[in-house]
Amino acid sequence: MTEAVKTLAPVMCVVGARPNFMKMAPILRALASHEPPIPALLLHTGQHYDTDMSKKLFVDLGLPQPDINLEVGSGSHAVQTAEVMKRFEPTLDEYKPSCVLVVGDVNSTLACTLVAVKKGVPVAHVEAGLRSYDRKMPEEINRLLTDQVADRLYTTERSAADNLAREGIDLARVCFAGNVMIDSVEASRAHARPAAQTLRDHSLDPALVAARYGVVTLHRPSNVDDPQTLKHLLDLLAKVSRDLPLVFAMHPRTRSNIERFGLQAVLDPARVAVLPPQGYLEMQGLMGGATLVLTDSGGLQEETTALGVPCLTLRENTERPITVEQGTNTLIGLDGAALLAGVAEILAGKGKQGRVPEFWDGHAAERIAADLYQWLTPLSA
Ligand code: UD1
């Protein structure tokens, strides 16, 4: 006997900031290609809004134009979160989705979750259960609170369920689906833009990436908002760059702080190519060809593991421990000696090889769509 086809109200898929886009693109595709298709709406809160941080990524990832854009823009955490909440509430009333699907840990993730649960709209959280156990990170607060109140929790690694269980969350709410971020890595492998081309696009000398090079990103407030810490990190990058040329894709927060603190002269432009935030395909090409990646990003720790590129993470902790245990990631923190030793080891060919974790196989979004279809309540006839 075949199962009756459910009639569903659309799933409202929320994105807000850069790291959400690569997670949502495969989910939207999987909802559309599910049999039967699961209707979806794409809502952009507008937390990230400019071409570099948002629009170009939409194009690269094949994301459709958002059905709704709340255009909240920048602000303090309180202002940004509150503004998303205020603007999201009437939208939810208007569209009456079957559920709200949020990804990751940005302010928009928590804001939309809070509004939806209080209105009795079910919430599904993709990338649930990751914990750095560092409550100074705004993202950690967003993760903890979102998981407490969301109804369906999709995890990327098995340790996430242990974290959730410790917080008293019923594991019946949890589904181990794998990592949607890696779905995007796999989908774009063939289209990644070569690093030399990216440098040429910015009128920089492609010779810098002709042999070995490293890729750098930095944007965590704990690393870039304090002048001493930022100077310390830039000094270290300057040292590394004497042995290995670097390509630094610079977040707007970092760029403006470097200017504010007068640190423009620390990096030698002949050894460090500074680029604006990169498109998705450019970043995949830069990382794919790199000898190593230096970063404080969560996403890059995962992507380098999938690409098999050694990653030195400039943070004391990670909410993605599997990248250290199984992948290519090493936590360095702010320890200069450890960083230089880590770089030397990689340059000597002794970097971590790693292996790709379970369900980081390019099919996580399909598993989510299949589970979501079972879980969603149909519209009453
Ligand atoms: C946010 C996320 C973080 C994510 C990061 C990736 C939260 C709590 N943090 O941090 O998890 O890793 O995005 O980028 O949600 N700006 C622009 N253009 C934009 C967006 C921002 O110039 O399109 C500027 C803002 O004016 C601000 C700075 O960049 O000065 C920081 O942006 P913001 O969204 O506040 O936080 P992120 O540090 O980007």
Contacts 24+ apart (CB under 8 A), 285-290: 285/192, 285/193, 285/194, 285/195, 285/197, 285/198, 286/195, 286/198, 286/209, 286/215, 286/247, 286/249, 287/215, 288/189, 288/192, 289/194, 289/195, 289/209, 289/213, 290/195, 290/213, 290/214, 290/215, 290/247
138 lines ligand 1 (CB under 6 A): yes
pLDDT-derived band at 5 (thresholds 50, 70, 90) equals confident
Structural tokens at position 48 = 């990230």
Identify the bridge partners of residue 125 per DSSP, sorted by sequence position.
102, 153
Q: Which residue in this structure is represented by tokens 């810098």?
A: 208
Region 11-15: what's the mean pLDDT?
98
Region 189-215: what's the mean pLDDT?
97
CA 302/CA 300 separation, integer angstroms = 5
pLDDT-derived band at 116 (thresholds 50, 70, 90) equals very high
Residues 331-344: tens digit of each pLDDT: 999 999 999 999 99
Q: Is the separation of the CB atoms in 260 and 228 below 8 Å?
A: no
pLDDT-derived band at 2 (thresholds 50, 70, 90) equals low
Crossing angle (nearest 10°) for helices 180-188 and 280-288? 80
Query: Residues near 196 by Cβ (< 8 Å), separated by ≥ 6?
Result: 206, 209, 210
17 lines ligand 1 (CB under 6 A): yes
Q: Is the separation of the CB atoms in 155 and 128 below 8 Å?
A: yes
Number of C-alpha atoms within 13 angstroms, CB side, residue 83?
Answer: 17
Residues 158-177: tens digit of each pLDDT: 999 999 999 999 999 999 99
The secondary element (H helix, E strand) that includes residue 296 is none
Q: Is residue 198 over pLDDT 90?
A: yes
Region 103-115: what's the mean pLDDT?
98
Q: Is residue 49 over pLDDT 60?
A: yes
288 lines ligand 1 (CB under 6 A): no
Please give the distance, rounded to the nearest whole angstrom, from the Cα atom of residue 353 to the centre of ligand 1: 32
Q: Is the separation of the CB atoms in 163 and 130 below 8 Å?
A: yes
Q: Is residue 381 over pLDDT 70?
A: no
Q: Where are the alpha helices (DSSP H) in 96-201?
A: 107-118, 138-149, 159-166, 180-188, 195-201
Q: What is the mean pLDDT of the chain?
A: 97
Q: What is the pLDDT of residue 337?
A: 98
Q: What percent of the chain has pLDDT over 90?
A: 97
Q: Is residue 207 over pLDDT 70?
A: yes
pLDDT-derived band at 380 (thresholds 50, 70, 90) equals confident
Q: What is the pLDDT of residue 34?
A: 97
48 lines ligand 1 (CB under 6 A): yes
Number of C-alpha atoms within 13 angstroms, CB side, residue 335?
Answer: 15
The ligand 1 atom at the shortest distance from the C-alpha of residue 139 is: 8
Region 215-244: what's the mean pLDDT?
98
Q: Is residue 31 over pLDDT 90?
A: yes
pLDDT-derived band at 1 (thresholds 50, 70, 90) equals low
What's the order of all strands across the beta sheet hosting 214-217? 272-275, 246-249, 214-217, 292-295, 311-313, 329-331
pLDDT-derived band at 201 (thresholds 50, 70, 90) equals very high
Q: Is the separation of the CB atoms in 334 and 233 below 8 Å?
A: yes
**Alpha-carbon separation of residue 143 from 48, 280, 287 (angstroms):** 19, 24, 27
Q: Is residue 377 over pLDDT 90?
A: no
Could you tell which of 48, 256, 295 is best to mutate to test the pocket of ligand 1, judged by most ligand atoms within 8 Å of the CB?
48
Please give the distance, rounded to the nearest whole angstrom, from the Cα atom of residue 73 to the centre of ligand 1: 9
pLDDT-derived band at 378 (thresholds 50, 70, 90) equals confident
Region 125-147: what's the mean pLDDT?
97
Residue 185 sits at φ, ψ, to 5 deg, of -60, -45
Residues 258-305: tens digit of each pLDDT: 999 999 999 999 999 999 999 999 999 999 999 999 999 999 999 999
Q: What is the pLDDT of residue 66?
A: 98
**Strand stretches in 291-333, DSSP E:** 292-295, 311-313, 329-331
For the chain, counts of helices (H) and of strands (E): 16, 13
Could you tell which of 83, 141, 219, 220 is best to mutate to test the pocket of ligand 1, judged by most ligand atoms within 8 Å of the CB?
219
Q: Is residue 89 over pLDDT 80?
A: yes
Q: What percent of the chain has pLDDT over 70?
A: 99
Q: Is residue 134 over pLDDT 60?
A: yes
